[in-house]
Amino acid sequence: MRLRLAVILLLAWPPAAFAGDITVLSPGIAIAPLRILAASWQARTGDKVAITGGNVGRIRAAVENGGAGDLVLAPTADLAGLAPRLADGGGKPIGRIVFGIVVKAGGNHPDISTREKFIAFARQAGVLAYANPAVGSLSGAMVEKMLKTPAFAGVKPVPVKGMIGDAIVRGDAEYGAGAVSEEKMAGDAEVVGRIPDSFGLFIDLSGAVLKAGKAPDTAADFLAYITSAEAAPVWKDGGIEAAR
């Protein structure tokens, strides 16, 4: 499926106006689909795309400190604070990262389709793991904040090391909560379902060209490519919905 989408993208997108290799700073929650798009871009144009990853906090710090890169992907809300580092002071919407519950392959798949059912699931499970906010995980911080509300009284919060899908596969907990795009990256893990929208767990992602970049024209072309209608199916397959 992903290969077919990549081929379609290669045929649909016109050649870049400027050649050059670029570096993209991206949080881990967006890296899987970004890698697919980068590979199709390189095959089409010959321009290499190096991807530097990390959690949202580390990406933000890298941009603030003038870290080497041509393009940054970040939560839309973060870009306002990074405006002095951006070529045009702003960015372009990429998509919305939704949240879900992940289990080890073959694990239980409880019904979490409504707010009431999700709360009942969490209370029955008694434990819910998430990426550790202490090391800069935005998705983890959002899940932790939700678990501190009265509706989840009695549910034990378990911050874990690394990506939540990987933590569930290695047995840190039966159930994990976090960005679906991150959960899909873990081998031997399964996404149970999406956390209901009423909890407000989502991250709007945007991209912006960096002033300090060495190939701004190519970076702008690549940003246009990954925000095009042709790229949307790759983002969606990776757990990132169309921008709103």
Kindly report the pTM of this predicted structure: 0.83
pLDDT the model gives residue 80: 86
Mapped onto helix, strand or coil, the DSSP state of residue 113 is coil
N- to C-terminal Cα separation, the chain: 25
Distance CA 176, CA 195 (A): 11
Distance CA 197, CA 183 (A): 18
pLDDT the model gives residue 55: 83
The CATH code of the domain at 98-199 is 3.40.190.10
pLDDT the model gives residue 232: 95
Q: Does domain 2-96+204-242 have CATH number 3.40.190.10?
A: yes
Q: Do domains 2-96+204-242 and 98-199 have the same CATH topology?
A: yes
What is the number of helices (H) and of strands (E) in the chain? Answer: 10, 10
Ranges in the chain, pLDDT < 50: 1-18
**Where along the chain do its domains lie?**
2-96+204-242, 98-199
pLDDT the model gives residue 136: 83
Q: Exposed (0-12), middle (13-18) or buried (19+): which is 214, by Cβ within 10 Å? A: middle
| Length reported for the chain | 244
Backbone phi and psi for residue 204, each to the nearest 5 degrees, phi listed first:
-80, 125
Q: Which residues pair with 129 in a beta bridge?
A: 158, 176
Mapped onto helix, strand or coil, the DSSP state of residue 126 is coil
Task: For residue 233, give both structure tokens.
Answer: 């199916």
Cβ pair 222, 41 in contact under 8 A = yes
